[in-house]
Amino acid sequence: EAGVAQSPRYKIIEKRQSVAFWCNPISGHATLYWYQQILGQGPKLLIQFQNNGVVDDSQLPKDRFSAERLKGVDSTLKIQPAKLEDSAVYLCASSLAPPRWGAETQYFGPGTRLLVL
Amino acid sequence: KQEVTQIPAALSVPEGENLVLNCSFTDSAIYNLQWFRQDPGKGLTSLLLIQSSQREQTSGRLNASLDKSSGRSTLYIAASQPGDSATYLCAYRMKTSYDKVIFGPGTSLSVIP
């Protein structure tokens, strides 16, 4: 079974530039998550999708971050414009269904490491 | 505010030692608690999941315990091996919003051959 795929693996940009990350979840997984992991901290949920609908985006800085999952499969996360404090690893995860339906296990991708200079 | 702390932040032990990693959380109304492993440049892998009604879970050389009343969980690793070197994170789901997972900062473990 193929895992969660993410690209690019690394990205270096200057502040005020834009950047986009891509995630392809495990086939058949309806729930998709984007997390931000700052060095030395645990992952923080940015947004959760159920199919192509947003379940939770309460911690997404909506003035600069956006995410979409148009066809309920792949997802993109965009930052525009980037700030120095956005330097982090961005992790994508997927699960078969939402946890409230009993699908507890999240499968994580390798992450995209972003450095904003 | 939901908060998770993990002590120690980093740990270095010789191969073969038994060790304990600690996790403390402030929210007593948890749904379940998980321990994850994170290897450099890789995503997280779930190791053990303890439901709120359980006190411990075991998988091979790993044993995780949960004490909701004190807001603590421990991960016990027996007979540590160099391949156990990684960062270990604990995370919990709240009963009131169990779609959301709250992660701790992790303990970085290095097992020296």
- Each residue's pLDDT tens digit, A50-83: 888 998 899 999 999 999 998 889 999 999 999 9
In a mutagenesis test of the B interface, which of A37, A44, A59 is the best target, namely the one with the most B β-carbons within 10 Å?
A: A37
Distance from the B43 Cα atom to the nearest Cα atom in chain A, whole angstroms: 4
Could B101 and A45 be called an inter-chain contact, meaning their C-beta atoms sit closer than 8 Å?
A: yes
Q: What does the pLDDT read at residue A101?
A: 61
Could B43 and A91 be called an inter-chain contact, meaning their C-beta atoms sit closer than 8 Å?
A: yes
Could B43 and A45 be called an inter-chain contact, meaning their C-beta atoms sit closer than 8 Å?
A: no
**Nearest C-alpha in A relative to B97:** A100
Residues of chain A contacting B, Cβ within 8 Å: 4, 9, 40-45, 48, 55-56, 91, 93, 98-100, 104-111
- CA dist A107 and A112 (Å) reads 15
User: Mind listing the pLDDT tens digit for each residue in A2-38?
Assistant: 799 999 999 999 999 999 999 999 999 989 999 999 9
- CA dist A111 and A14 (Å) reads 20
Q: What does the pLDDT read at residue A100?
A: 64
**In one letter, which amino acid is B33?**
L
Give yes or no for residue A1 having a pLDDT over 70.
no
Residue A116's pLDDT band, with cuts at 50, 70 and 90, is very high
Give yes or no for residue B44 having a pLDDT over 80.
yes
The answer to whether A25 touches A75, Cβ cutoff 8 Å, is yes
Half-sphere exposure of A3 (CA within 13 A, CB side): 15
Which residue(s) pair with B14 in the sheet? B112
